[in-house]
Structures are given as structure tokens and as C-alpha cells.
Structure 1
Amino acid sequence: MSTQEKEALPGQKVWFVTGAGRGIGSDLVTAALEAGHYVVATARDAAAVTDEVGEHERLLPLPLDVTDLAAVDAAVGQALDRFGRIDVLINNAGRFYTGFFETLSPEQVRAQMEVNFFGTLNITRAVLPVMRAQRSGHVVTVSALLGIVGAPFVSIFSASKFALEGWMESLAPEVAPFGITTTIVEPGAFRTKPPKDRGRTVFPDIAIEDYAEATEQSTASVKAFNGNEPGDRKKLAAVFVTVVDMEQPPKRWVAGTDAVEGITAKGRQLIADATAFSELSTGLAHAD
């Protein structure tokens, strides 16, 4: 084990990336390595990382299921054994469950939350003590446009991302006294590589006649959209590294024209909703 591995050189950081076996996760690993950083890249199958990224002296691929607490602790321990620190945590692991709420089984709903929400909490809980001891670190959580703007046929996926948004927004001031910064990344739609990345998408379990036609149409729409999304993942990964490397990174980074437009419209709608009935909303204080 070299000294260089134990102590990153000035400007170099140790990244810990979850969900690195495909999609934006593997692109981020490549971009971070190209920028000179060290990367711990985790996936359910560690071989998927090297299949996508290749082997690299500054890369440590590890198997990790973020819902397995023992595996989470083991992966963080291996990262520290190899590199001695963790400077940047990228919470990227997730699944995409589609379907109208009533057509998703309770098991599917729980599975969505276990990976996207509780899995993210698991890995962050394991890494925060490391960052507190260092008195430095950056926690980055990948949310989505759907974490701000809800939509039909993705209610549970959207719920998992809304939960992450509230948690991260509240976490930021809790960890700031220890030199730890946070960023929520809210991407729009970025192009997949079918059929591999399509494996992240799960379709509904329950058939309900009232939803049958809309389910068929929405399922076809989701499948047709895969591979035709407007965003370029390579560009996203390159700018992602730029944002993370900022001296004062943003609390939120909205990525993609569709995300900017959607979140801006939601902001205007929130203001309109908050002020629509001002007399009814603001006249509720005690008179004494």
C-alpha cells in the first residue's frame, strides 16, 4: 500500500460513489478519475464497475448492497484501509419503480424506499463519523427533477426523492459545524444505454381495470423514452465533477434544461399557492 494511496495529493480527493456499476454512476467514476481523484466505486456486483470503467490504480471497486448494514460498514472500512480518508460521498444508488400508486404492491413500495431513501441514509450514517473526525467532507445526494415536481405513474419513486430532499435540506445545518458541506443534485432526463440501464426500471405488480389502459400507455411511454432522453450523460458527469470541486459548492445543483424549467415552474406555483388565500392563511395568530 503506497503513501500516495494513504494520503491524497493536494487537489486530489477520495470519492466514495454508490451505484457505480452503470448509468451516471459509472460515468461519474470515470470523470472523477480523469480529474485526478481517487475513487471507491461500489455496486451490487463490483465486476460491473470494472466492466464499465476498466481497471485503474486510483480505483477501488467494491461490492455493496446499500440496504445491508454490515456490508455498508465493511465497504467504508475497506475504503479507509486503502485510502485513509473519504472526502466526497456520492449517494447515487437507486432503483426506478413505475406505476400508479394502487398498482404497486406494498412490497414494491417498501423496496423503493429501502434502496433510494433508507439505503442512502445507511451509507451516509457510516461515512459521517469519518468526515467529522477529519473536520471536512462533502455529502452529495442525487435526487431528481421528480424529487421536486411530482407526476403520475411515478408516485413512489417521486416520494423516495422528495424524502431525500427534506432529509438533505435538514442535514446541511446539522453537519456544517464540522466542516461538512452538502449538495443535492436534481437531474432531469439523461440518456440511458438500453438494454442494460433499463434494468433499473420496475413496472407495476397489480392489475386494476380502471388503470389498465393508462398503465399500458404509460409503460409503453417509459420504454420508448429509454435511450431517447434529451440529456448527455458524459456532459453531466464532467460538470458534476466541476460542481463538486468548487470551493463553495451549491446546496442544490439543478442539471438539465428540463429540470431547470420544471423546478422554476414549481417554484412559481409554490409562491402562487402560498399567497392565493393570504387573508385565510395569515389571520390565524392568537389575538392576545
Structure 2
Amino acid sequence: MSDPPPQPEPPRPPRVWLITSASNPLGHAIALAALQAGESVAAGCTREEINADDGPMRELKLTGGDRFAVLELDTRNIALCQSALAETVHTFQRVDVVLNCSSQSYIGTLEELPHTHILAQFEATYFGPVNMMRSAVPFLRRQRGGHIVNVTGLTGHMGTPGLSVRCAGDHAVEGFSDALAYEIAPFNIKVTIVQPPLEVNVLSSRIHLTPTQEKGYTTFESLSRIVKAAPPPKEVLEETVSIVMHIAALENPPGRIIVGAEGIEQVKDRLKTVSEELEEFLSASLGADIPKE
């Protein structure tokens, strides 16, 4: 007697998203895509945006209906992060994807940036996402699964003139994410870093420009063009939205993914340079080893 044919797996229920900022261009676009796909979204925004009748939440409310909830959220405040997680789970009974996409960009050369801007950059870019992850992990661990998606940028992979403190914050949160992924893997919790182009990760954040004070120091022509292009070009934004939606649906998502051919080439060049330097100074590096007896 032959074995019965395997039964198809039941369809996966629609996911529940918690998006830290659904008012910036990227967060809003991802929230809209998730709602249009039949999923549920808890959207973080400011108190003023919650009360606005014609703000960025209006389209999402009309699209999502009872699959959409608005939360007051500032990731720099861990109490608001914890309450946002609790309210999401209370409303939708679970949370599947936690998307960290709220940030700020302080632009200027090192000698131009006041110390307060450096601190503010780390509060937004590093401590904010860390607060959100610290708040999310206990909920995801109890439900034995979930996915944390951290949007950084190529600023998390290499240095960019004029964005030194933004690069520092993004590098820091990427290092934190890499380590956290090992800690929470036994609980079936995934962590993915998404690196969109500068046009997306910078222009989707609140930009703070530091005036040039000294001849010879500029905000750099390429960066100036990007800043003047705000908001992000639609086609570049759509690429990032498509990538986020795709990796969020995977059982085994990547730990890091780059958006766009230009970014891939830049990272390849960076890795090639690192490899070449490693080989060039290999004898000096090995010379530091203590001889084995």
C-alpha cells in the first residue's frame, strides 16, 4: 500500500509589523506595502502626528482599517518602546516584524560639528534602535520567533565624507545587530541589516545641516546633490521597500542585504581594498604572533 501524498502546509497567517516611524518616507512606504498585502501594522509616530487629521497616517488608516494601529513612539525613550511593544501585542496578539527605520542625520565635517550634534546622532542612530531591540526581544522570545529588521545604509559599511557621525552610529548598530543575532538565534528570532543607498537612508531621516565655517571645508558636492534631492527618488525608495518586504517573508533571511547595484559595487570595492591591505601587511601581522614551542 502506497504512502498517502504529503499534505500541503497551511497558509502562513498575515504578519504583524511594528514600524518605528511610519511618518518618514521609507517607513510610510513599507507600512503601506504591508497593509496592501493584507498584513497588520502598528505604526510609530509623534503625538502631533497621531492627532493630525491630514498627516501621513491618514492614507494608512484608510488602507488598513482595523489592521492598522497608531502608536506614540520615540525610540530614544525606552519607556515608549516598551509600551509600543505591549500595545502592539495587545491589539494584534503578536508581533512578527520589528522594523527600525527612524533616524536623524547630522551632516558636516568633524571640525564643524558641535559636540551636542555628535551625542544627538548616537541617541537617534544607535541608542534608539538598541532601546527598541531590548524592548522587543522578551516579546519575541516568549512567542518563540520573530524578525528584527534594522535599516542602516552604506554608511554602516564604509566611511562617507560629511557623514562621519552618521557612519559611526550605523557601524555601531550593525556591530550590535551581528552580536545580537547569535544571542537570540536559539529562540528562532532573526536579525537582518538592510543597507539602502544614501538617497534613501539619509533623505528618509530628519536632516541637520552644519554651516560651513572655513574655506576648504565643504559639505562635499556629491552629498550636497543628495541632500537637495529630498524626498528620496520614488524608484530608489521602491527598491528598498521591495527588498524589505521580500526578506521579511523568508524563513531564513540574510543577516545583511544591500539595496541596488551601485551599493553592491561600492561594498565589493571596499572588501577588495581590505583584502589587499591584509595581504600587503600579512608578514607584519603574523610577526606579532608568539612562536609556539
Could you say whether these structures have the same fold, taking a TM-score greater than 0.5 normalized by the shorter chain as the test? yes
Question: If the length of structure 1 is used for normalisation, what is the TM-score?
Answer: 0.87
Q: List per-residue Cα deviations over 1:43-97 (Å, max 9, x = no partner).
A: 2233444135343221111121111122122211211110111111111110111
Paired position in structure 1 for 2:206: 200
- Matched residues in 2 for 1:199 and 1:15: separation? 20
Distance 1:158 1:242, change over 3 A: same
Kept in 2, the 8 Å contact 1:132–1:178? The answer is: yes
For 2:82, which of 73, 86, 94 is the aligned residue?
Answer: 73
Supply the AA of the counterpart residue of 2:108: G
Q: List per-residue Cα deviations over 1:127-168 (Å, max 9, x = no partner).
A: 100001111011110010111011111101111111111111
- Matched residues in 1 for 2:28 and 2:284: separation? 50
Distance 1:154 1:14, change over 3 A: same
Paired position in structure 1 for 2:3: none
Question: If the length of structure 2 is used for normalisation, what is the TM-score?
Answer: 0.86
Q: Residues 159-198 of structure 1: matches in 2 within 5 Å?
A: 159-190=168-199
Kept in 2, the 8 Å contact 1:191–1:231? The answer is: no
Which residues of structure 2 form unaligned runs of 5+?
Answer: 1-10
Q: Is 1:50 aligned with 2:57?
A: yes
Q: Residues 8-87 of structure 1: matches in 2 within 5 Å?
A: 10-44=12-46, 45-46=49-50, 47=52, 48-55=55-62, 56=64, 57-87=66-96
- Matched residues in 2 for 1:33 and 1:227: separation? 22
SS at match of 1:101: coil
Deviation of 1:211 after TM superposition, in Å, equals 4.7
Which residues of structure 1 form unaligned runs of 5+?
Answer: 1-8
Identity %: 28
Alignment RMSD (CA, Å): 2.3
Kept in 1, the 8 Å contact 2:85–2:136? The answer is: yes
Distance 1:133 1:219, change over 3 A: closer
Supply the AA of the counterpart residue of 2:74: D
Q: Residues 1-288 of structure 1: matches in 2 within 5 Å?
A: 10-44=12-46, 45-46=49-50, 47=52, 48-55=55-62, 56=64, 57-190=66-199, 200-204=206-210, 208-212=213-217, 214-215=218-219, 220-227=224-231, 231-287=235-291, 288=293
Kept in 1, the 8 Å contact 2:126–2:169? The answer is: yes
